[in-house]
Amino acid sequence: MNKNGEVSASVIKRLPRYYRFLGELMKQKVERISSRELASLMKLTASQIRQDLNCFGGFGQQGYGYNVSDLHEQIGKILGVDKKYNTILIGAGNLGRAIASHINFETRGCQLIGIFDANKNVAGKVVAQTTVRHIDELEFFCRTYKPEVAVLCIPKASTQAVAELLVSLGVKAFWNFSHYDLSIDYEGIVVENVHLGDSLLTLTYGVTHTLGNDDGANNK
């Protein structure tokens, strides 16, 4: 938590990871865990875990640790997984279809209610049990069903204009997979830009420098 009392971005980024690890512990029938044990699993420090959770009031008991199911539930509420935000997906190409089909939106606080594409040959097809609508129907659909979240899987050139239209129609948050760093100058709009290529480059950096270090050692 920063000096203004706001939870830092780094803490927020770690919350889904806590939620995932605790979910796995529940599947293993683990009922309670200490901060030290959880830290060992997650490759963090016990102090870091306590500091992170204290941003939200703290949930453990001295000498007992954390009740796994209770902590999982509380972090889920902080993340909003108990909500059902109406969500639409724009762009039913390969990436859009994969996201619609393989992301369980409902366990992550969202309910996918519509999929749209500009290609008339794609409109009418069924993806993830949802019939794809032509983009021309977007405005009417949004005014009728009032989605709050939009997933963008569209070309870079279209992203800003589509996002601005959606904001005008009441969308409050964007999960953006385009190659455009979406920056919307509207108060209260949440944007999560996802760059899969950047993630791969981070991986190749690690591989390159690991191998580079090995090569350097071998050449001495």
Q: Are residues 94 and 60 in the same domain?
A: no
Say if 98 falls within a structural domain: yes
Domain span at residue 52 reads 9-77
- Decide which of 53, 77, 101 is a domain's last residue: 77
Q: Domain tally for the chain? A: 2
Co-location of 101 and 132 in the same domain: yes
Decide if 2 is inside a domain.
Answer: no
Whole-number pLDDT of residue 183: 85
Let me know if residue 210 belongs to a domain: no
Flag whether 208 is in a domain: no
Q: Are residues 100 and 192 in the same domain?
A: yes
Q: Are residues 155 and 53 in the same domain?
A: no
Query: Which pLDDT value is given to residue 59?
Result: 82
Predicted confidence at residue 220, as pLDDT, reads 44
**96 and 183 together in one domain:** yes
CA distances from 82 to 78, 88, 107, 110 (A): 9, 18, 8, 9
CA distances from 37 to 22, 34, 45, 58 (A): 12, 5, 10, 17
Residues 66 and 93 in one domain: no
Quote the pTM value.
0.87
pLDDT reported for residue 214:
54
Q: What are the residues facing 155 on neighbouring strands?
A: none
pLDDT of residue 217: 45
- Helix or strand or coil: residue 29? coil
How many whole angstroms separate alpha carbon 38 and alpha carbon 69?
Answer: 14
| One-letter amino acid of 95 | L
Quick one: pLDDT at residue 216? 46
In a shared domain, residues 98 and 190: yes
Within-domain flag for 209: no
149 within domain boundaries: yes
The pLDDT of residue 5: 62
Per-residue pLDDT of the chain (220 residues; tens, 9 = 90+): 555 568 899 999 999 999 999 999 999 999 999 999 999 999 999 999 999 999 998 787 766 789 999 999 999 999 999 999 999 999 999 999 999 999 999 999 999 999 999 999 999 999 999 999 999 999 999 999 999 999 999 999 999 999 999 999 999 999 999 989 998 888 899 999 999 999 999 999 999 988 766 554 444 4
- In the prediction, which pLDDT does 15 show? 96
- Shared domain check, 110 and 62: no
State how far the Cα of 101 lies from the Cα of 188, in Å rounded to an integer.
Answer: 29
On whether both 54 and 89 belong to a single domain, the answer is no
* 48 domain-assigned: yes
